[in-house]
Structure 1
Amino acid sequence: MVVMRRRHGDLADDEYVVVHCHPHGRVLAAPVLALFVLAGVLGVLLAALPSGARPVGTWVLVGLFAVTAVVLVLVPVLRWASTSYTVTSRRIMVRAGLLHRAGVNVALNRVAEISYRRSVLDRVFGSGTIVVDTQGPAPLQLHCVPDLAGVQRMLGELVYAVGDGGQRV
């Protein structure tokens, strides 16, 4: 998961990306399962539809399926795709949002402590939540981070290097 590359635009000249990721792909399991269930229910309902209600009833069922699929499948997939966690040589950046984009930047020199939380399911997939305690009012939480151990280790090394005057990295 470690990526050492330079992204143009929002980075300083001597800053580089160390880790860039989206939440773990397992968060897409529920929308995919919902899509299969919706398709099965639609097939059963279309097969059970009386022939007298065929043209209009078919369109109504397909329309309800489309609206439900957008809410239960498309919105969560777009939310996953629009959420990203980036750790650079200087800061942690979190970007999220579909229509209203929001972002948080935390300088590594403001990080006081890094901890994590993992459920049983998180341990199976190697993911988890990283909690970055800063000098601010509330800790920064990166939910469902893939390769939790690797990202946490890299983040710890970067915070240590920044606290050491930038001698290591």
Structure 2
Amino acid sequence: MRRRRGEFADDEYVVVRCRPHWRALAWPVLVLFVFAAGLGVLLAALPATVKPVGTWVLVAVFAFLAVALVLLPVLRWASTTYTITSRRIMVRTGLLRRAGVDVALNRVSEVSYRRSLADRLFGSGTVLVATHGPTPLQLRSVPDLAGVRRVLGELVYVADAEQYRDM
């Protein structure tokens, strides 16, 4: 695994690295198919009197809607990563303007989860990490929710035990 200089401590290692569940891409792909079918129907039904200009207008509207409703959600999905290391939880988002949140495991006070019916069908869900801060950290649409919760619970337990041992 490639490590960026300064990203991890010497004794820190990656336990889980994932993106949001692939089902987050289902709606954008469905929208793309519906738009493509709609564009085909509209181009076929376009009167010959407005053909050259009307065709370009329809294609431009389709391209704008496709970028807004398909490409942006796909890029948002592709640029979001959840990383759990032996010391912390890292969330990275954004393509052009990157943002990140790091939470040390010894600052975690509670790990809980939320699952909708669709989440249960796909084995995904939202992990809520309560810290000593005001708002909990939310990892949305995490694939293999049960495995991530188990690993996170074990790591928090070990970090908590080490914290009390050092006192």
Task: Tell me the TM-score normalised to structure 1 length.
Answer: 0.93
Alignment partner of 1:116 is 2:113: yes
Partner of 2:160: 163
SS at match of 1:99: coil
Give the C-alpha shift of residue 163 in structure 1.
Answer: 1.3
For residue 164 of structure 1, give the secondary structure of its aligned residue in structure 2: helix
Q: Is the 8 A contact 1:22 1:81 kept in 2?
A: yes
Contact 1:7 1:17 in 2 (8 A): no
Residue of 142, 145, 151 corresponding to 2:148? 151
Q: 2:55 corresponds to which letter in structure 1?
A: T
Structure 2 counterparts to residues 2-151 of structure 1, below 5 A: 7-9=3-5, 10-151=7-148
Matched-pair contact (CA < 8 Å) for 1:6–1:16: no
How many residues align? The count is 163
Identity %: 69
Q: Which runs of 4+ in 1 moved over 2 A?
A: 5-9
Work out the CA distance in 2 between the residues paired with 1:41 and 1:74: 18
TM-score for both structures, normalised by structure 2: 0.94
Q: Could you tell me whether the CA contact under 8 Å between 1:6 and 1:17 is conserved in 2?
A: no
Q: Structure 2: any 5+ residue segments left out of the alignment?
A: none
- The Cα shift of 1:100 comes to 2.2
Q: Structure 2 counterpart of 1:86, which letter? A: T
1:35-73 Cα shifts (integer Å, max 9, x gaps): 000001100000000111111111111111101000000
Q: 1:127-157 CA deviation, whole Å, 9 max, x = no partner? A: 0000000011111010000000000000001
